[in-house]
Amino acid sequence: MFVVLGASGHTGKVVAQTLLRQKKKVRVVLHDAAKGKAWGEAGADVAIADVDDGAALEGAFSGAEGAYLLLPPNFSSNHVRLDNNRRAQTMAHAIEAAGVPHVVLLSSVGAQQSEGTGPVLALRDAEERFSRARAAVTFIRAAYFMENWGRSLSAVGAGVLPTFLTVDKAIPLVATRDIGTAAARLLSEGGSGKRVIELAGPREYTPRDVAAAVERIVGRPIDVQQVPEEAMAPALMDAGMNAEWARLFQELTHGLNADVVVWEGGHPLWRGATDLETLLPPLLGK
């Protein structure tokens, strides 16, 4: 039995679907019971538990040979690192109490850094906690999500692609579907000890590359426009995000621009198959 957290999200859904197609036994852990019917019909066992509920998680993890874990963002939190550390501790205790032998934890590029990475610092903390766990643990340090570009596509109708990233700086991107596929593979293979897998897409992309891909899809010129980093937090707060999350995302963006959020190196680098030209059309309604 493989247990999958976040099955109603982008990566967990792919993990569970992939394992089910391989005829593996799967238990999905959901926060919302209403979403369980479809998973039950697909052949999965369903457990209802919150990531803050250690007793419920222990029950959900019972009998598992492997588990896929992640820290789902809580955008109402004003103490993001503290709250995520508590959730990671709760998950780790539940994994240990249930005797799960192998965990695949979704982490991020830059998780080895001790500062300057915004929300990734919580994943550094989670890695440190699970590094002390009795279970074998595989950390997937995923690149910047390709889907994050969806936030900038609303301006494409005006012929513009705004970005806070440096226009001609290439960074690794990865599609969330490739994260899910990699996690399912790692669960199926099992694990021993503690290891890191760095995961990116087929190649690195600059924002100008993204604009060029959008141009090819929509069939008209797209002007990439770099917005000053310091404008990011105010813009996010104007859109309704709280000040803590806005600050963290601005710090993450600066970290990407300043080569703080980078690969550690010395670990296997896996590359997913999904490129931007494949991923962007649905985001653009094409």
* Domain range annotation of the chain: 2-146+173-203+262-274
pLDDT of residue 286: 87
Walk along the chain (286 residues) and give the pLDDT tens digit of each residue: 999 999 999 999 999 999 999 999 999 999 888 889 999 999 999 999 999 999 999 999 999 999 999 999 999 999 999 999 999 999 999 999 999 999 999 999 999 999 999 999 999 999 999 999 999 999 999 999 999 999 899 999 999 999 999 999 999 999 999 999 999 999 999 989 999 999 999 999 999 999 999 999 999 999 999 999 999 999 999 999 999 999 999 999 999 999 999 999 999 999 999 999 999 999 999 8
Give every CB contact of residue 164 below 8 A, 6+ residues apart in sequence: 226, 227, 228, 229, 231, 232, 250, 253
Contact 48, 87 (CB under 8 A): no
**Topology classification of domain 2-146+173-203+262-274:** Rossmann fold (3.40.50)
244 close to 77: Cβ distance less than 8 angstroms: yes
pLDDT value of residue 141: 98
Q: Answer whether 70's CB lies under 8 Å from 12's CB.
A: yes
Residue 101: the pLDDT is: 97
Q: What is the pTM of this model?
A: 0.96
